[in-house]
Chains A and B, each alone.
Chain A
Amino acid sequence: MGETEVLTTKKKKKFAYEPVFTEKKEYRPENVREVGFVFVGHEISEDGNVMNQFLHYDQLYTIRHGQNSRFFKGLLDGKILGTRCPRCGDTWVPVRTHCWNMDCNLQKTEWVEMPLKARVHTWTVAGWSGRSSLKRLPIILVYGVIEGSKVAIANELKNVKPWDVEFNMPLKIVFKPPEERIGAIIDFHFEPEDGWEPSPMNKEKERIKKLVEPVYEWVKTLK
């Protein structure tokens, strides 16, 4: 479709429901841009037998959340919205728009606001991660069960020493300040429930401490 066509053709109204997006926010970092395919260099081995080429390709994706939208919009509002099956009562965060129970035969679920409380189901202390997370290391990742949910959700645990995390420890959900939220799962994290105290050092805690200490040093060397 050429540019002139866009200008002269009046947009047809869809027969189906068509959302009108009125609230739009841009927070693109300066170094994020789409440039399509660009060959940016090459190299040839000394003996002339092998050649490598360097291709850069970047693409902007639209994650269309559709029926899941209320969960991600809820994050912007500092709320955890779960879904519940009106037939069997099972409740989930991460959400399911249709029930997982075969007897409920893909029953459409309803939205419920969840308490900002959870428990550690399992945990790990990461000393390595993907490119975009390296500077945040070490990361305590927990799978927490939000009160009332049938499933565990992964997120970061903060405000505790990596070696002090425990199975079953009570957690609260803490949101970033409203202006920093982007409607993604990283808008919130877990913290120990108020009043929770770590247990004394033991052999396993000493071991984790020994493994984690070099990670702190290594992260300092990152640019």
Chain B
Amino acid sequence: MNRKVCIVGGATTPFDYGPTGFENIEGGAAECVKETQRDIPEFSLRDIDLMIYSHFSVHFGHQLAPEWIIHDHLGLVGIPHYRVENGGNTGGSALYAAALAVMSGHHDVVGVIGWETMDSVSQSQGSEFIAMASDIRYELLVGGIYPIYYAAMANKWMHENRVTEEDVATIAVKNRNNAMDNPKAQWYRNEHRYITVDDVMNSRLISYPIKKYDCCLMSRGVAFLLVCSEEYAKKVNPDGYVTIDGMGLSSCTIRAGDRLNFPGWIERYGPGYPDMTEFAACRNAAEQAYKMADIEDPLREIDFGEIHDAFSTSEAQIYTALGLADKNNIAQFIRDERTHMHGDIPMNPGGGLMGYGHPVGATGIMSAIECFYQLSGMIPKKHLSRKTEVPDAECGIVNSHAGTGTSISNFIMRRH
């Protein structure tokens, strides 16, 4: 690896849906930067030498190149800027780009701003916009929304792995209840209640085996993350900075049905994988990240994660893709609550997409920020209590996930 890549700060606006008075994206971005400055007062906007913008769909923003609005609002004329778009993995991909920029030695201080404004259209229209990232010629007209594709994949995976609806419901419960300790989280700000497995089981059918509470939230939100060289990190946040020790980005087919016999996967992992059940890009990206961070036993060496729980089922599928469990023990792994706050590898202490929210372009950045807060000891400051703090966290994983598993990134972060 070349230069070390560090994270020194970051913040999100509250994630929400509908009017709350902070809807303009450039205003939200400015507030995120100001909150970061309150955490690390040595950081000045003058230090930034590259801005990377993370935004999924201009359909939601009724504006092309909306990053240009944010950029000059922050006073940053003359500083290079570009936007990264990679479906649900837009945030992870923007972070990947920022890390490459620092690693290369060409840039020292890179700001990443992610956002999505999904409440600018109706919920059902929003679902249809997102589904336009499926192959519209073949899939949009027959399915219509992403949860249906994910449900078809999860249904087979659950049958083959003997994972039940109740099992995955515990994940939906966990993430929402974690969000009850996070004032920025959409679940905290809206429905605001602790839920049970029964609540999930009794919520309305979205697409079998997925019910309403197995799904993440449509959101509006902005997030800002400051990525930099170690030299700069030592200057502005010597005691709290976090290093990105490993990262991986991988890809899979746009149509999930094309994964049955794909030569590129057969070459890597043999026939029969990933089928429509496994997230091969997640496994592949994890292998890259683990290798770079010298991780041999992820379950033992990683303390916690902020991962892409677009659906409770996909969080479960991600456990196996990350190598935390396999076909033989995944159901028991879930039943033992290994990923709850009291487990040995808590997942989504910040609430995840189901609790915190999923404003697509901001989501991966939010996950990285929550991971940073844990590792730098800032949870008591950012959450309402220590209930969602992972004690003595040294190493965290951030996972960002697009399409039907079409692009996936994983990052290993450590307290320096």
Per the bound structure, the CA–CA distance linking A121 and B153 in Å amounts to: 10
Residue-wise, chain A 137-149 has the 8 Å CB interface mask toward B (1 for contact) of: 0110111010000
Per the bound structure, the CA–CA distance linking A167 and B153 in Å amounts to: 12
B-chain residues with CB within 8 Å of residue A103 when the two chains form the complex? 263
Residue of B135, B142, B259 touching A156 (CB-CB under 8 A): B142
**Cβ of A150 and Cβ of B204 under 8 Å apart?**
no
Residue of B138, B148, B159, B277 touching A185 (CB-CB under 8 A): B138
Per the bound structure, the CA–CA distance linking A145 and B127 in Å amounts to: 27
**Cβ of B204 and Cβ of A100 under 8 Å apart?**
no
A-chain residues with CB within 8 Å of residue B140 when the two chains form the complex? 130
Flag the segment in B41-49, B205-213, B344-352 that touches A.
B205-213
A-chain residues with CB within 8 Å of residue B209 when the two chains form the complex? 124
**Cβ of B205 and Cβ of A125 under 8 Å apart?**
yes
Segment 12-58 of A: residues with Cβ below 8 Å from B = 45, 49-50, 52, 55, 57
Residue-wise, chain B 141-158 has the 8 Å CB interface mask toward A (1 for contact) of: 111110111011101100
Closest CB in chain B relative to A204 CB, distance in Å: 9
B-chain residues with CB within 8 Å of residue A68 when the two chains form the complex? 137
Q: Beyond A50-B21, A126-B206, A128-B204, is A154–B145 a contact (Cβ under 8 Å)?
A: no
What residue in chain B is nearest A45 (Cβ atoms)? B19
What residue in chain A is nearest B263 (Cβ atoms)? A101
Per the bound structure, the CA–CA distance linking A208 and B151 in Å amounts to: 13
Residue of B125, B143, B155, B159 touching A154 (CB-CB under 8 A): B143
Q: Beyond A141-B152, A211-B205, is A49–B21 a contact (Cβ under 8 Å)?
A: yes
Per the bound structure, the CA–CA distance linking A153 and B261 in Å amounts to: 13
Residue-wise, chain A 85-105 has the 8 Å CB interface mask toward B (1 for contact) of: 000001010100000111100
Q: Beyond A100-B263, A143-B152, is A125–B142 a contact (Cβ under 8 Å)?
A: no
Per the bound structure, the CA–CA distance linking A65 and B147 in Å amounts to: 27
What is the number of residues of chain A that contact chain B, defined by CB distance less than 8 Å?
A: 54
Residue of A63, A130, A142, A211 touching B145 (CB-CB under 8 A): A130
Task: Report if A123 contacts B (CB, 8 A).
Answer: yes
Residue of B142, B204, B259, B277 touching A141 (CB-CB under 8 A): B142
Residue of B125, B208, B276 touching A143 (CB-CB under 8 A): B276
Q: Beyond A63-B137, A127-B204, is A100–B153 a contact (Cβ under 8 Å)?
A: no
B-chain residues with CB within 8 Å of residue A128 when the two chains form the complex? 145, 147, 204-207
What residue in chain B is nearest A155 (Cβ atoms)? B142
Residue of A127, A143, A150 touching B261 (CB-CB under 8 A): A150
A145, A150, A151, most chain B CB atoms within 10 A: A151
**Cβ of A122 and Cβ of B261 under 8 Å apart?**
no
Segment 68-127 of A: residues with Cβ below 8 Å from B = 68, 72, 90, 92, 94, 100-103, 121-127
Q: Beyond A57-B62, A124-B148, A141-B142, is A131–B128 a contact (Cβ under 8 Å)?
A: yes
**Cβ of A143 and Cβ of B256 under 8 Å apart?**
yes
Segment 152-186 of A: residues with Cβ below 8 Å from B = 152-156, 167, 184-186
**Cβ of B144 and Cβ of A123 under 8 Å apart?**
no
A-chain residues with CB within 8 Å of residue B211 when the two chains form the complex? 211
Q: Beyond A68-B137, A126-B206, A127-B206, is A151–B257 a contact (Cβ under 8 Å)?
A: yes
Task: Report if B369 contacts A (CB, 8 A).
Answer: no
Q: Beyond A130-B128, A143-B257, A152-B260, is A124–B142 a contact (Cβ under 8 Å)?
A: no
Task: Report if A9 contacts B (CB, 8 A).
Answer: no
What residue in chain A is nearest B255 (Cβ atoms)? A94
Q: Beyond A122-B155, A126-B148, is A151–B205 a contact (Cβ under 8 Å)?
A: no
Closest CB in chain B relative to A141 CB, distance in Å: 5
Per the bound structure, the CA–CA distance linking A191 and B143 in Å amounts to: 16
**Cβ of B135 and Cβ of A208 under 8 Å apart?**
no
**Cβ of B153 and Cβ of A122 under 8 Å apart?**
yes
Task: Report if B190 contacts A (CB, 8 A).
Answer: no
B-chain residues with CB within 8 Å of residue A145 when the two chains form the complex? 260
Residue of A50, A131, A132, A139 touching B19 (CB-CB under 8 A): A50
Task: Report if A219 contacts B (CB, 8 A).
Answer: no
Task: Report if A198 contacts B (CB, 8 A).
Answer: no
**Cβ of B260 and Cβ of A150 under 8 Å apart?**
yes
Per the bound structure, the CA–CA distance linking A101 and B267 in Å amounts to: 10
**Cβ of B151 and Cβ of A133 under 8 Å apart?**
no
B-chain residues with CB within 8 Å of residue A130 when the two chains form the complex? 124-125, 127-128, 131, 140, 144-145
Closest CB in chain B relative to A175 CB, distance in Å: 14
Task: Report if B258 contacts A (CB, 8 A).
Answer: yes
Q: Beyond A50-B21, A125-B208, A143-B256, is A102–B124 a contact (Cβ under 8 Å)?
A: no
B-chain residues with CB within 8 Å of residue A143 when the two chains form the complex? 152, 256-257, 276
Binding site for B on A (CB under 8 A): 45, 49-50, 52, 55, 57, 63, 65, 68, 72, 90, 92, 94, 100-103, 121-134, 138-139, 141-143, 145, 150-156, 167, 184-186, 207-208, 211-212, 214-215
Q: 7 interchain pairs (CB within 8 A)?
A: A94-B135, A125-B205, A126-B147, A139-B148, A151-B257, A153-B257, A208-B208
| Beyond known contacts A101-B263, A154-B138: 7 more, CB 8 A cutoff | A121-B257, A124-B155, A126-B143, A126-B206, A128-B204, A153-B138, A214-B204
The 6 closest A-B pairs by CB, nearest first: A127-B205, A152-B257, A130-B144, A130-B128, A124-B151, A129-B144
